Chain A
């Protein structure tokens, strides 16, 4: 896989570790970390044109990455954070060999009832609205753009 500058690689390492923990509730393994760096090299030129976000602040202040991403996605589709999160989902899928799962879903376990699924979807709708507000506040409060 292509090489990446040493300093940048440390930041990317922290980024993927943070996103994996916060979103999927698992640890990113070495291969996923290397692939995450590779992703930034291969698609770097296109990523540079995306609406950026100050990832250092997000990591240092342990902000709600899910909320910020959702807010940005609605305002700036295809923004850098959405791309990073999407890349992490692919890397999770390759690392674990199963479809990516969120931390909440791990707790929902083997839910198979269609009715319960609909109830949970409604709950996710409400939760997403709250996340959107929280994400918006964090973006402006911490000057992330």
Chain B
């Protein structure tokens, strides 16, 4: 039996790309993926098509459930294309999205790239020191920008960081207020820390990619070179001849043999089954799809796997002193500031990200104000620029209400109820008021299940590999298997309240580095 490669990786998202980056040092890798990709750049494109789309998908929130602006944006539709048909989920409460694109969900991410410290890794069978070398090499590879303030130490090491993204608008004012000695003392007393974001966005040219420049198109033009996308790593390794990328392949299951593992897939262009063999298989299809492949491989239709995601809430706020300022001021449209809260109101650390409301279509907010149309239009022009949103993430741990299992038809049954907290929001609203920003508890919104897009925990890693259930050992190896490894967040036993993708990548590299071929 000839092997197609030493190692097969399923998935080209952050997990798959990082594993490939590490493995490329020792062997050539075969990467299997559905691999939808961004439409070709067309410079003279019509503004209607660019902003709203051929089928007006950009204004879908008028009559369909809320979808985050980037995923709704016409040229970003490839990110979530066809997952409902190709990897179906039956659920009454999962309102999230999956991606079958080259680069995975990271095509639409906000690029907040944080490290997990030992506090975050409580309950993991690994420690920060094991991830640290990979965090550092990723920081160099990706080009991560960030600040050196008090929050920086919680977000990770400062080594090799690029300068932080410039602040603008309301958030510039918020940062300035938070740094005043009296306010800072108040925040500290209340265990609130506000600082600059850590982002996978270049503030200086880096490894052939340009520095970020604001053009108001972050939500409308995918693959902006300054904003890191794992697809860049895949393309780079492909160009160096270290990776073979096989697009249009939907992996269904694997089968182990004493000396190899076989991957059974479907070639989507012909609809025919295809097989691939290798010494090792690395699953990086995302926490939900990797779990599906594993359950399918064992034809297990009864086991309930745990499902973790960060519950989130949104606190809108307004800075009255900024009323009348332009909402389209030149500013990065993603999160500009980070917040860490570690007070007694919640059992674990809570993370927040501050956003301004520029960069998306103002019409999204037309009916968020309480006036007749003319009044609301006035608000869009003169009030929106003074507003911001604090997005709050909570940690998650396995609980009986959140789980997934495989049905005999191949769809996943997923339960992922929304959760509401509230005490922390109240505390943060008080802090905002102290800084001169107004908000109120009735404005707080809680996101529906799945809408954090931070999925994890389906195949948790344990100190020792147990022989029952589905889990992995500390090196990512799936129990009951010899050649199959899990490199995405499936293996996180807990989910701290932090952006998880940099840790997905560092952990994937750690696992890949220990692989014996």
B447 within 8 Å of A by Cβ? no
Let me know if A142 is at the binding interface, CB within 8 A: no
Q: In the complex, which residue of chain A has the Cβ closest to the Cβ of B59?
A: A90
Q: How long is the Cα–Cα vector from A41 to B12 in the complex, in angstroms? A: 36
CB atoms of B377 and A118 under 8 A apart: no
Find chain B residues with CB under 8 A from A10 CB: none
CB within 8 A of B374: which of A99, A104, A111, A118? A104
A46 touches which of B51, B63, B381, B382 (Cβ 8 Å): B63
Residues of A within 8 A of B325 (CB): 112
Contact of B378 among A38, A43, A50, A121 (CB under 8 A): A121
User: What chain B residues lie within 8 Å of A69 (beta carbons)?
Assistant: 372-373
Per-position 1/0 for A20-45, Cβ under 8 A of B: 00011000000110010011001100
A125 to B47: give the CA distance in the assembly, Å: 34
Cross-interface CB contact of B56 among A38, A83, A98, cutoff 8 Å:
A38
- Whether A101 contacts B372 by the Cβ 8 Å rule is no
Most buried by A among B63, B323, B324: B63
Q: Which of B56, B372, B374, B382 contacts A132 (CB 8 A)?
A: B372
Contact A125 B375 (CB under 8 A): yes
Residues in A with CB closer than 8 Å to B375 are 121, 124-125, 127-128
Residue A66, interface by CB 8 Å:
yes
Measured CA separation A88–B387 after assembly (Å) = 24
Q: Please tell me if B62 contacts chain A, counting CB pairs below 8 Å.
A: yes
Contact call B362/A93, Cβ cutoff below 8 A:
yes
Number of interface residues of B (CB under 8 A): 42
Contacts of A94 in B (CB 8 A): 47-48, 51-52
Stretch at the interface among B306-314, B331-339, B363-371: B363-371
Residue among A35, A43, A90, A127 facing the most chain B CB atoms (10 A cut-off): A90
Contact between chains at A83 and B62 (CB < 8 Å): yes
Chain A positions within 8 Å of B60 at CB level: 43
Whether the pair A47, B51 counts as a contact (CB closer than 8 A) is no
A94 CA to B45 CA, complexed, in Å:
12
Task: Choose from A31, A100, A105 the contact partner of B362 (Cβ within 8 Å).
Answer: A100
Distance between Cα atoms of A2 and B51 in the complex (Å): 17
The 8 closest A-B CB pairs, nearest first, are A124-B375, A99-B362, A102-B377, A70-B372, A114-B323, A46-B63, A117-B323, A102-B374
